[in-house]
Amino acid sequence: MSSLVGFLSLVFAIGINFYLFLSRYIFKFQKQKFNLFIRFSSLLTLLSFFSLMYAYVVSDFSNYNVFQNSHSNKPLIYKISGTWGNHEGSMLLWLCILSIFSFFFSFTKNIEDNFQKLTLIIQAFLHILFGLFIVFTSNPFLVNSILVNEGLGLNPILQDPGLAVHPPILYAGYVGYSIVFSIAIAGLFQNTDDEWLYVAKKWSLISWTFLTGGIALGSYWAYYELGWGGWWFWDPVENISLMPWIAGLALVHSLMMVRGEQAIKKWIVFLSILCFSLSVFGTFLVRSGILTSVHSFAADASRGIFILLIFFIITGFGFLVFLLKEPKKSNTLNLLFINKVSALVINNILMIIATLTILLGTIYPIIIEVLYNKRISVGGPYFNSTVIPIMIPGFLLMSIAPILSWQTNKINNSKKYVLAFIILSVLVILQSYFLDFNTWGFVGLLLGFWIILASIIAIFSSYKIKINIKFLKIINPHIAHIGVGIAIIGITCSSVFQNELDFNLNEGDKFNVNGKTVLFEKIETTNEINFQSLRGKFLFDIEKDQSKEIEAGKNYYPVSKMITSEAGILHQWNKDIYFILGDQKNNEWFVKVLINPFVSFIWLGVIIMMYSGLIAVSRR
């Protein structure tokens, strides 16, 4: 029953969007009526999504999708997240978020009616494309042809609280760019005043913030669930989320800087189209099964071709409009040797080069396989040695960009900065001299600290310190950059200064980690609702009264016959001690301990960046 409701409301929603799309040419509408229709179709799409969720919650195995991906003895949260833990459901989530964005956009005030309408018509067009994709190739409401009373279960690796919320947030980022895309295209068509830039800024900030959160959640999940001790692997799936993120970053900065310059406006339109294109491209790569990863649920060529077509239509349409309709002529670019505009331009160029470098590395294996029928994989070494050096000058520039002037080459208080930089360099040199020297470590630390220091100096020397919301808004760009600085320090330390220790242990053995004695207490196996767990219990720092207990081990999921590793992590502010329980051999357990310094800084930096994103949304 719920499947029928879901399917009908989905089809009905697509129908309404089709009607709205035609309204541009055939039936003319009043604004109110038009908005009412848009909201109604959004609610229908939501209804469709919630019917599927309901089927999951009550374990309605007459729905084929639920049967394939759920199991009645799963905890409720994973029944809910099971809704998007599969290809069909996740595409419905995609569509649902698209609708939600249209819904909220229809409430935007202070913009021209025609412009708003056109934006929503483009949204309706996107809704139709993805809606048809779902109906024809990925219908989550198919009825199960056999009568069953139990389902096949959700991929155990996805049964994790972090991963339950990761897809909706990430999608909110990806799909949020659809609004930015629609706004940019509508802006090109209408070619009116610059009002659309402010609207676009708000929405691109929202999308970017969500995307940041989604990527961070995914990588935090990889950190503690995959049990490899790292949090970023340059996996194709990570890369395709990073590309719209970097392009989105360039877009946000351009939008903040624009003062009516024609060249930048053109560039903004380009970036808006690019961001959404990259999002759709990512969806294509993951959903077509061209890439194998935990994200590709099923490989099906017809789906791949359909979504490739969607990608082609959207991107082709976007860039074609861009080619044919140029933004209205206005001010020219005020480029000086070093002012805000030139810093922005340089930074944008760097970000685009970085994006293209990642794009090349990601699609290169596909090209090679088509041309030479050979499989290669492009991994960490390529990206580390190309993307990072490209970004470094950008980071340097970023530390001083907010204090540059618009009109002149002058930097206020330049002496202070030079002095601070010299002192900092000496300190970092001393640090690397007395501890272990590593070029990347040196560069990373210097950059990270410099960005933080320069931002702090800028805050103190340029503004009167007050504690109120207005002040927080004014210094927001500096805060965002401090977040980046903190994240850079975390990234540098955790990757360059990571320490690995291997042990072969019996229960009851004591061993030494970082000068602290650790006791390998015992191995414990228990039966949980939907898995069996094997845990090694460790007591960290037993000489102290408050020794900490760490559990590391594995889960075995009988329904899907899969084993997942569960790393045991002791979080401290300055380092994570990361325990991995390996296999048992000759009655000894293999235990790997990784010491990851300053990992918490990465998450802290990300949280600061997201905070800044949100503050910036409210700032005009």
Partner 1 sequence: MNKIFILTPLIVLLIICIFSLVYLLSGKDPNKPPSALLNKDVPIFESSSLYNAKDIIKTKDIKNKKTLINFFASWCSPCKIEHPLFFEISKKYPELYLLGFNHKDPTSDAKKYLEDDGNPYDFVGVDSDGLIALEFGVFGLPETYLINEDGKIIYKFMGPITMDILKNEIEPLL
The residue ranges that bind partner 1 (CB under 8 A) are 270, 273-274, 277, 281, 284, 288-292, 296, 299, 301, 304-305, 308, 311-312, 315-316, 319-320, 322-323, 363, 366-367, 369-370, 373-375, 561
Q: Which of 497, 523, 514, 517 is nearest to 590 (CA)?
A: 523
Q: 145 or 373: whose CB is closer to partner 1?
A: 373
CA distance 403 to 405: 6
Please say which residue, 331 or 618, places its beta carbon nearer to partner 1.
331
Which residues, 6 or more positions from 517, have their beta carbon under 8 angstroms from its beta carbon? 510, 511, 541, 542, 543
Task: Report, in Å, the least distance between residue 478 CB and partner 1.
Answer: 34
- Nearest-approach distance from CB 112 to partner 1, in angstroms: 26
Our CB check for partner 1 shows the closer of 136 and 406 to be: 136
Decide whether 364 or 503 has the Cβ nearer to partner 1: 364
Q: How far apart are CA 449 and CA 444, in angstroms?
A: 8
Q: How far is CA 236 from CA 283, 380, 391, 592, in A?
A: 12, 10, 19, 27
Is the Cβ of residue 367 or residue 469 nearer to partner 1 in the bound state? 367
| Of 75 and 558, CB closest to partner 1 | 558
- Residue 579 identity: F
Cα 112 to Cα 189: distance, rounded to the nearest angstrom: 13
- Minimum distance from residue 231 beta carbon to partner 1 (Å): 24
Closest contact distance (angstroms) between CB of 582 and partner 1 is: 14
Q: Which is nearer to partner 1, 44 or 307 (CB)?
A: 307
Question: What is the Cα–Cα distance from 558 to 532, expressed in whole angstroms?
Answer: 8
Of 302 and 527, CB closest to partner 1 = 302
In this structure, are residues 315 and 277 in contact, taking their beta carbons and an 8 Å threshold?
yes
Distances (CA, A) of 364 to 239, 300, 301, 538: 13, 21, 20, 44
Beta-bridge partners for 565? 554
Cα separation, 573 vs 544, whole angstroms: 19
Question: Tokens 């708000």 identify what position?
Answer: 202
Nearer to partner 1, 46 or 269 (CB): 269
Q: How far is the CB of 365 from partner 1 (least distance, A)?
A: 10
- Distance in Å, CB of 326 to partner 1, minimum: 9
CB of 327 to partner 1, least distance (A): 12
By CB atoms closer than 10 A (0-12, 13-18, 19+), residue 502 is exposed
Minimum CB distance to partner 1 smaller for 561 or for 620? 561
* Tokens found for residue 159: 């049964």
Closest residue by Cα to residue 68 from 52, 51, 46: 52
Q: Which is nearer to partner 1, 374 or 470 (CB)?
A: 374
Non-local CB neighbours of 519 within 8 Å, separated by 6+ positions? 508, 509, 510, 538, 539, 542, 547
Q: Nearest distance from residue 331's CB to partner 1, in Å?
A: 18
Contacts of 85 (CB under 8 A, 6+ apart): 69, 78, 154, 155, 158, 167
* H/E segment holding residue 132: helix 113-137
Quickly list DSSP for 195-264. Answer: HHHHHHHHHHHHHHHHHHHHHHHHHHHHHHHS-SS-S----HHHHHHHHHHHHHHHHHHHHHH-SSBHHH
Pairing of strands 562-566, 548-557: antiparallel
Tokens of 336: 């000086």
Tell the smallest beta-carbon distance from residue 367 to partner 1 (Å). Answer: 5
Q: How far is the CB of 313 from partner 1 (least distance, A)?
A: 10
Neighbour tally for 512: CB within 10 Å:
11
CA angle 50, 55, 61 (to 5 degrees): 160
Q: Taking the complex as a whole, how short is the minimal distance between the CB of residue 94 and partner 1, in angstroms?
A: 19
Q: Which single residue is written with the structure tokens 């990373």?
A: 444
In the complex, least distance from residue 266 CB atom to partner 1, rounded to whole angstroms: 9
Nearer to partner 1, 296 or 462 (CB): 296
- How many angstroms separate the CA atoms of 477 and 484, rounded? 11
> With contact defined as beta carbons under 8 Å apart, do 337 and 300 qualify?
no
Cβ-based nearer residue to partner 1, 273 or 457: 273
For tokens 């930097």, what's the residue?
Answer: 411
Q: Which is nearer to partner 1, 120 or 285 (CB)?
A: 285
In whole angstroms, the minimum distance from the beta carbon of 559 to partner 1 comes to 11
Taking the C-alpha atoms of residue 232 and residue 245, their distance in angstroms, rounded to an integer, is 15
Q: How far is the CB of 216 from partner 1 (least distance, A)?
A: 27
